[in-house]
Amino acid sequence: MPEPPVPPEQPTPPQRPLRSMPPGPHLSGGGRAPEDGAIAATGMGGAMDLATEEGASLGKPPGPDAGGPQDRPRSLWSDAWRDLRRNPVFIVSALVILFLVVISLWPSAIASGNPLKCDLAKSQEGSQPGHPFGFNGQGCDVYTRTVYGARVSVTVGVCATLGVSILGSVLGGLAGFFGGVWDAILSRITDVFFAIPVVLGGLVLLSVVTSSTVWPVIGFMVLLGWPQISRIARGSVITTRQHDYVQAARALGASNSRMLLRHITPNAIAPVIVVATIALGTYISLEATLSFLGVGLKPPTVSWGIDISSASQYIRTAPHALLWPAGALAVTVLAFIMLGDAVRDALDPKLR
Amino acid sequence: MLLEVRDLHVEFRTRDGVANAVNGVTYSVDEGETLAVLGESGSGKSVTAQAVMGILDTPPGKITAGEILFRGQDLLKFKEEERRKVRGAQMAMIFQDALSSLNPVLSVGAQLGEMFTVHRGMSRKDAKAKAVELMDRVRIPGAASRVGDYPHQFSGGMRQRIMIAMALALEPALIIADEPTTALDVTVQAQVMDLLAELQRELDMGLILITHDLGVVADVADRIAVMYAGRIVESAQVHDIYKAPAHPYTKGLLESIPRLDQKGKELYAIKGLPPNLLHIPPGCAFNPRCPMAQDVCRTDVPPLYEVTGAGPDRRSACHFWRECLDG
Amino acid sequence: MGRYVIRRLLQMIPVFIGATLLIFLMVNVMGDPVAGLCGDRQCDPATAAQLRKEFGLDKPVWQQYATYMGNVFTGDFGTAFNGQKVTELMSTAFPVTIRLTVVAILFEIVIGILLGVVTGLRRGRPVDTGVLLVTLVVISVPTFVTGLLLQLLLGVKWGWISPSVSSEAPFDELIVPGLVLASVSLAYVTRLTRTSIAENRRADYVRTAVAKGLPRRRVITRHLLRNSLIPVVTFIGTDIGALMGGAIVTERIFNIHGVGFQLYQGILRQNTQTVVGFVTVLVLVFLVANLLVDLLYAVLDPRIRYA
């Protein structure tokens, strides 16, 4: 049987599959040409990349059975909460974080000593009754200092994350919502920040600061960290903006501010929360790294970073002085990563 | 007989329990014959086909009982390596969505040629020539110049032709086409279906056509097997079934086809939803939706009765097939 | 493709200017470039003023920046205050750091991808859970702690390696530092590969490949891996810039005289020209690596067509 003439070819439009890094949400949002995804790695190290990937995969539009428009945010979050309550990973990491918060607020509850009281005669001594973790190079009690160190580390992590999240999501969200020139400018600015290696920027910026408070370190983290969140927020807002129910709200004449607050924010915020949770862990780790390089916090502040850094000189003779604060740091970072991971899994409609 | 599936059972272990996807399917296809397997999604028609091909995801899937006889040999007793040599060479499958079923990063020529290099040990150059030949055969215009193109550069219909070419490459004795035209535009559907039917006649292959489109079935199939909840509920020659269905489910399917002479009347729809495979109703699985259901339907699973007096080699899994035929 | 490359090169210009300007401002405005010259003593005002004039520091910042960039593009990165040419420092420091980065990238490719493939194919089995847990721990422990501990164990306790790297820094001495530098990215590459493999494993085209009767090995290498590695390769590419910039910690632990070491010295001594020069080159490396990755992307994935 002779066939009718073949219709002209209709090649499928190029679809860029999810790239590992931030382009993810932008792609599903469709608002980004491939070339805009140029600067992909975060430069903040694997953990931050992990964070952005986790967030990115959340930015994809939900499946067809995601429920009605109005109750979607509520059901998404309440479903997530129901999942989380049964997830042992979430419970354990949440308990670890709760414990950390408690001892940062009331360190004396579990450590009766004074972290600044040191006895050089006991320098580098090992574990002994009343001093389970032994003493560090200056003869300070490692246990007491590890407990007290939580406060500064948690403060830095929480403040930096809050600053980064607020600045990043407001700038990124507005750019994603309104688009146009400001969006283009913001994208270029974030590219600029991504091009500067974080540790290097920290060295340059903090080496000239003489203040011994935590604020310069937090300020630096906000300065170099906000583009990360802003990208996630922007992509997430662009994706949400294209959902049918948002288009419907626009068609019904909702004002910009109402659309942003009532429809977009509740749905676009999930990836930001996940990324911010994991980022919190990385900021604590970054503070320690900067302190190790001698530009972070400075004594007499008590922080894990300072203690690890000072203990590194005695690592051959008194490794315990390094291992305890380093262990505490690692457990903290791990707890935040696992928490973010669990929240992401719970919020991902695909996994239901 | 080319292929005989006997009393096949497949289950899936999921988080919520064991889903009985296939519960004793029996059907057969001969050389040159077209068997249409009809059913809603979830009726087990694709799972049966994947079990025949040996591409079931195990786990979570598991074949718990039954035989799959290919030219008299039970494929389920084959070693994996023997099974692999059958796949592609003696039986091949055409999938529904050609765009996702073709590898996006390999040229279509490479994907077609692979059949020859792997199964026939041909050189790459010869394999490429064969690929062009195949593309010509499924009437892709300018085959020689397009052999290096990638799947996304073809239109939907052309992509499905490439899928067909790939299945036909080694001239297998059996082709399983799993909803080959569902993803295509209506105008292209007929072209692709005609091509498939024509090539089947030419090569005298057995064809299992999995579909939920009754219109396609009437045109190309010799026999029909209707599936419901993992079971064959009716099997018959195609014209016999259209003349008078012997199962209320088949009847419902036929009545829900829109027809021009019905204009103005309400379209018939089978009430209720397909059963949850985790909790298949006791007795006849169709009983909650069946207009003819009696008490016996809720307790006794109907066997596949031999239907007499309404065409040759005909079966129905309904206690009341006589009443169904008459009404 | 050609037009695309040109457009990308043009797009790089503002990013390059922005990043270098940012560093230039940080160094010149926030710090006092002259302060480092007089050593520990306070500079006397007259000398300071004279030095400022000599180095052009009395001019407005934008003019200083323009002059500096003008010089950079003629290959003149200026002189460190100790009289050594910055380009000279670079020619000794960059080869070392490049070697270190190469070792790190090799670790990422070989170990990271291998572990990712193994775990992706055995998702949910003990080996998968074990490796996943290890990657999380590696990501959670800061690099400098990993480095110090490996140095202590392998270098001091067991004596397998020398705890510090000699100034020539040959490849064999850089194996452990390279592993330390790669560690976090390595863990990430493993996770990324695993996710990608596990996702693509259920893809329709893999099912097709099985239905074609291809041997399992060929299904994995030719169909599954080829697709799954696209995001991994792009990540590793973009990681090059991050690794070179992040080598500062590793270089400090193992006393490697590379880029990080020079930068660290430059910052400590407030050596403006050294710092800005090195950072400028690092930013360039980062941007070029990103460009190459995007072009590589087009080669690996034919669906991407640059108009």
**C306 has a chain A CB within 8 A of its CB:** yes
CATH superfamily of C93-300: MetI-like (1.10.3720.10)
Q: Which of A102-116, A192-206, A274-288, B123-137 has the highest mean pLDDT?
A: B123-137
Residue B225 lies in a domain: no
For CATH 1.10.3720.10, list the domain ranges present in chain C.
93-300
- CA–CA dist B36, B29 (Å, integer): 10
- CA–CA dist B160, B168 (Å, integer): 12
Eight-class DSSP state of C255: T
**Whole-structure pTM value:** 0.80
Q: Chain A: residue nearest B194 by CA?
A: A1
Closest-CA distance, B218 to chain C, in angstroms, reads 28
Contact present, B275 and B249 (Cβ < 8 Å): no
Eight-class DSSP state of B275: P
Q: ∠ CA A290-A293-A297 to the nearest 5 degrees?
A: 50
DSSP string computed for C146-202: HHHHHIIIIIIIS-SS-SS--TT--GGGGHHHHHHHHHHHHHHHHHHHHHHHHHHHT
- CA–CA dist A237, A264 (Å, integer): 7
- CA–CA dist B322, A193 (Å, integer): 78
Mean pLDDT of A99-118: 78
Q: Where are the alpha helices (DSSP H) in chain C?
A: 2-25, 45-54, 61-73, 86-107, 113-121, 126-140, 143-150, 175-201, 204-211, 216-218, 226-253, 259-268, 272-300
Residue B105 lies in a domain: no
Domain hosting B311: range is 248-327
Q: What CATH number has the domain spanning A88-351?
A: 1.10.3720.10
Show which of residues 73-132 on chain B sit within 8 Å of chain A, judged by CB atoms. 99
Q: Which residues pair with A45 in a beta bridge?
A: none
CB pairs under 8 A between B and C: 74
Q: Is the pLDDT of residue B111 over 90?
A: yes
Eight-class DSSP state of A128: B
Q: Where are the alpha helices (DSSP H) in C26-85?
A: 45-54, 61-73
* A107-116, C31-40, C95-104: least confident range: C31-40
Closest-CA distance, B141 to chain C, in angstroms, reads 21
pLDDT (0 to 100) of residue C43: 64
* pLDDT category of residue A149 using cuts at 50, 70 and 90: confident
CA distances from B25 to B57, B59, B216, B287, C60 (A): 19, 20, 23, 19, 86
Q: Is the pLDDT of residue C40 over 60?
A: no
What are the strands of the beta sheet with B3-14, ordered from one edge? B17-29, B3-14, B61-70, B73-74
For residue B298, the one-letter residue type is R
* pLDDT category of residue B262 using cuts at 50, 70 and 90: low
Comparing CA positions, the residue from B40, A268, C161 lying closest to residue C169 is: C161
CB within 8 Å of A340: residues ≥ 6 apart: A51, A54, A274, A275, A277, A278, A281
**C288 has a chain A CB within 8 A of its CB:** no
**Complex prediction ipTM:** 0.87
pLDDT (0 to 100) of residue B116: 92
- CA–CA dist A98, A104 (Å, integer): 10
- CA–CA dist B13, B21 (Å, integer): 10
- CA–CA dist A333, A327 (Å, integer): 10
Phi, psi values for residue B300, rounded to 5°: -105, 130
Q: Is the pLDDT of residue A20 over 50?
A: no
pLDDT (0 to 100) of residue A310: 84
Mean pLDDT of B307-322: 84
Interface residue of A15, A35, A39, A284 to substitute, partner C, most C CBs within 10 Å:
A39
Comparing CA positions, the residue from A176, A114, A183, A182 lying closest to residue A144 is: A114
Helix, strand, coil share (%) of chain B residues, nearest 5 = 40, 25, 40
* A89-93, B240-244, C31-35: least confident range: C31-35
**A64 has a chain B CB within 8 A of its CB:** no
* A188-202, B78-92, C187-201: least confident range: A188-202
Q: Which H/E stretch holds residue B53?
A: helix B45-53
Contact between chains at C23 and A196 (C-beta distance less than 8 A): yes
Q: Is the pLDDT of residue A19 over 50?
A: no
Closest-CA distance, C228 to chain B, in angstroms, reads 11
The distance of Cα A334 from the centroid of its chain, to the nearest Å, equals 12
Residues from chain B that touch A10, judged by Cβ atoms under 8 A, are 155-156
Contact between chains at B141 and A6 (C-beta distance less than 8 A): yes
Contact between chains at C279 and A204 (C-beta distance less than 8 A): yes
Closest-CA distance, B295 to chain C, in angstroms, reads 44
pLDDT tens-digit series, residues C86-134: 788 888 888 889 999 999 999 999 999 999 999 988 887 888 889 988 8
Residues from chain C that touch A193, judged by Cβ atoms under 8 A, are 19, 22
CB within 8 Å of A293: residues ≥ 6 apart: A199, A202, A203, C248, C249, C252, C264
User: To the nearest 10°, the Cα dihedral for A231, A232, A235, A237?
Assistant: -110
Mean pLDDT of C216-240: 88
Higher pLDDT, A35 or C54: C54
Residues of chain B contacting C, Cβ within 8 Å = 53, 55, 57, 84-89, 92-93, 95, 97, 100-107, 114-115, 118-119, 150, 152, 166
pLDDT tens-digit series, residues B210-251: 988 787 788 888 899 999 888 899 998 888 888 888 888 888
CB within 8 Å of A74: residues ≥ 6 apart: none
Q: Could you tell me what percent of chain A has a pLDDT over 90?
A: 3
- CA–CA dist B257, B265 (Å, integer): 13
Which pair of structure tokens corresponds to residue C271?
Answer: 């050596």
Contact present, A339 and A277 (Cβ < 8 Å): yes
Q: Is the pLDDT of residue A230 over 70?
A: yes
What is the overall mean pLDDT for chain C?
82
Q: Could you tell me what percent of chain A has a pLDDT over 70?
A: 70
pLDDT (0 to 100) of residue C110: 93
Number of domains in chain B: 1
Contact present, A48 and C139 (Cβ < 8 Å): no
Contact present, C188 and A46 (Cβ < 8 Å): yes
Q: Is the pLDDT of residue B30 over 70?
A: yes
**Count of other CB atoms within 10 angstroms of residue B44:** 26
Contact between chains at C213 and B86 (C-beta distance less than 8 A): yes
pLDDT tens-digit series, residues C265-300: 888 777 777 888 888 888 888 888 888 888 888 788
Left if phi > 0, otherwise alpha if psi is -120 to 50, otherwise beta: which for B281?
beta
Show which of residues 165-224 on chain C sit within 8 Å of chain B, judged by CB atoms. 202-205, 207-215, 218, 222-223
Q: Is the pLDDT of residue A259 over 70?
A: yes
Eight-class DSSP state of C79: B
Comparing CA positions, the residue from A97, A227, A115 lying closest to residue A175 is: A227
- CA–CA dist B26, A102 (Å, integer): 66
Show which of residues 152-171 on chain B sit within 8 Å of chain A, judged by CB atoms. 152-158
Q: Which residues pair with B176 in a beta bridge?
A: B93, B208
Contact between chains at A281 and C140 (C-beta distance less than 8 A): yes
Contact between chains at A289 and C249 (C-beta distance less than 8 A): yes
Residue B277 lies in a domain: yes
Q: Could you tell me what percent of chain B has a pLDDT over 90?
A: 17
* pLDDT category of residue A125 using cuts at 50, 70 and 90: low
Residues from chain C that touch B150, judged by Cβ atoms under 8 A, are 302-303
Residue B149 lies in a domain: no
Left if phi > 0, otherwise alpha if psi is -120 to 50, otherwise beta: which for B121?
left
For chain A, which residues make up each domain, given as ranges? 88-351
CB within 8 Å of C122: residues ≥ 6 apart: C128
Eight-class DSSP state of A293: T
Contact between chains at A7 and B152 (C-beta distance less than 8 A): no
Q: Which residues pair with B27 in a beta bridge?
A: B5
Contact present, B194 and B21 (Cβ < 8 Å): no
Q: Chain B: residue nearest C230 by CA?
A: B105
The distance of Cα A75 from the centroid of its chain, to the nearest Å, equals 25
Residues from chain A that touch C245, judged by Cβ atoms under 8 A, are 43, 196-200
Q: Is A287 helix (H, G, I), strand (E, B) or coil?
A: helix
- CA–CA dist A309, A292 (Å, integer): 5
CA distances from A292 to A209, B175, C137, C145 (A): 16, 67, 20, 10
Residue B189 lies in a domain: no
